[in-house]
A and B are shown apart, each in its own frame.
Chain A
């Protein structure tokens, strides 16, 4: 699978050269990687087991740092020889000076942040550009579930209401409104379902949204 979703032909600087043998990457990670320039300095917030970091390092020669709180994930990163800093995201961000990174990534974590606005502002401070991805709460299946009287549980939001880390779920439109309010300029957007861009009724049909932004 080499097709890279790139719905918004934004700045050319971040144009991806499809890697020769890209490892299997989660859909949103593939999109994120496509927006990261070769050799960029990247901060991956909530980097998990380091999948994206390893990909960016090996295929993009990027200088990547990850921030992660979970012991097991930190260990996985160390096993791969990755630069990982064990910290919670909020304090993990505070430690970096302004514009330290070319790109700051927050993949599938925004919805679990308590201080959503503060995290986005910090991303814009620490990086020249930020990239976030999150599940679309407004996906039609979720709406059907709500119509049926139940909170949605889906592959991209696989949690029961009483046992979920997701405290700030939103739709792509919600995110765009918040970004505008925070003075963030959206420079690229991708709304994905099953790895493919969704151009018709994206608000209802996309499962994942990926945004790239810069401080205005």
Chain B
């Protein structure tokens, strides 16, 4: 969907016009109150669930969560997936043509924030005639958008479902992002971000960035279980090639990713993560930052997530309780680390199912 009204960004820059690609599932009811917005994290898109008809394309990124009979049941809810500004799956981003120059934005695409994304999502909601979402939900960076909704547009969100979230990145989190960005920026094919016209892609850098990221998504335990010290070779080769299974896995992930993801988008989205800090405007006081929120909350963390550990989610829970908000919080004892939010652990899914059943009951009242 095309938007011609300029969007003022947190940075002070403005985006004159832009495209937001979105996808919907289920039916908007007559009262227009059964809409659920699903926000994506770093590398996902508007394609939340299902497969495209007649195509054997990859299934949606949260297909185990959203669909008929799934925790977010599309027989009851009207689900919207939207690709965020600056991403590379159809919404306006660094790869898009800058109407002013007639060339891809590249490095000139403005840095956008979680708040900017939310502001753009609100416009999409306006166009679709949705005054208030039954729920806004997401995992990781997607959860940060859902949280931001409750602060920026408290009257337009009934429930916030935030999975594997932190109220802000830690120094360690930012450090990992910085290393990933450094890998991309030091790739000779990066050309300061304007590689599109050169006919090259900084694949090597993007690959390393993804490898680093991927390590932080998995737990030590799950890596030990999946790979241990297993070798692909019969014995040590006394060289620097791929010998350990874990090396092979990471490189495979990196290769796959560098085929479809845009390097500028990776920079931009990791920066949006770094900048996210709703308590920044309240002198670090998260209680005060969340004071405008009126939504009811479901928060879920995973015990082995060391990227956004349960203690980080609990900071939000505590601030919500102090604010007197309704909040359910579960710490799921899952082995998979941060990635667990994408997997279908039965305890996790039962909880989300129960929560959305309550929302459906409320709507039926």
Contacts and interface: CB of A to CB of B under 8 A. Distances in A.
Given A78-B298, A79-B354, A86 B329 contact: yes
Interface string A80-103: 011111110000000111001000
Given A96-B321, A97-B322, A87 B351 contact: no
A75 to B, nearest CB: 6
Given A97-B322, A100-B322, A87 B354 contact: no
Nearest to B315: A95
Given A78-B355, A82-B328, A86-B331, A95 B318 contact: yes
Interface string A45-69: 0000000000000000001010000
Contact size range, A:
20 to 34
B314 interface: yes
B350 interface: yes
Interface of B is mostly: helix
B134 to A, nearest CB: 14
B317 to A, nearest CB: 6
Nearest to A101: B321
Contacts of B318: 95-96
A104 B321 CA distance: 14
A115 interface: no
Interface in B295-317: 298, 314, 317
Contacts of B326: 81, 83
B358 A85 contact: no
A33 interface: no
Given A77-B328, A83-B326, A100-B322, A95 B317 contact: yes
Interface of A is mostly: mixed
B347 interface: yes
Contacts of A86: 329-331
B324 interface: yes
A74 B351 contact: yes
A163 interface: no
Interface string B96-140: 000000000000000000000000000000000000000000000
B347 A78 contact: no
Nearest to B332: A71
A172 B297 CA distance: 40
A85 B298 contact: no
B314 A78 contact: no
B358 A83 contact: no
Interface string B322-355: 1010111111110000000000000100110011
Contacts of A97: 322
B354 A84 contact: no
Given A79-B354, A79-B358, A85 B317 contact: yes
Interface centre among A74, A78, A82 (most CB of B within 10 A): A78
Contacts of A95: 314, 317-318, 321
Contact of B347 (A63, A71, A84, A100): A71
Interface centre among B298, B326, B328, B351 (most CB of A within 10 A): B328
A78 B329 CA distance: 9
B317 A78 contact: no
A100 B322 CA distance: 7
Contacts of B331: 86-87
Interface string A96-132: 1100100000000000000000000000000000000
Contacts of B298: 78
A96 B318 CA distance: 7
Given A78-B298, A95-B314, A84 B329 contact: yes
Nearest to B287: A97
A86 B298 CA distance: 12
Contacts of A87: 314, 329, 331
A79 B347 CA distance: 13
A41 B324 CA distance: 9
B290 to A, nearest CB: 14
A83 B317 CA distance: 10
A75 B354 contact: yes
Given A75-B354, A81-B358, A100 B328 contact: no
Given A74-B330, A78-B298, A85 B321 contact: yes
Contacts of B354: 75, 78-79
Contact of A75 (B317, B322, B351): B351
Interface centre among B324, B330, B357 (most CB of A within 10 A): B330
A57 to B, nearest CB: 10
B321 A75 contact: no
A85 B327 contact: yes
Interface centre among B327, B329, B332, B350 (most CB of A within 10 A): B329
B73 to A, nearest CB: 16
A83 B328 contact: yes
B328 A84 contact: yes
Nearest to A85: B329
Given A63-B324, A75-B351, 4 more contacts: A65-B327, A71-B333, A86-B329, A100-B321
8 contacts: A41-B324, A74-B330, A75-B351, A78-B328, A78-B355, A79-B357, A83-B327, A97-B322
Interface of B: 298, 314, 317-318, 321-322, 324, 326-333, 347, 350-351, 354-355, 357-358
- The 9 tightest CB contacts between A and B, nearest first, are A95-B318, A86-B330, A79-B354, A85-B329, A78-B354, A86-B331, A81-B358, A78-B328, A83-B326
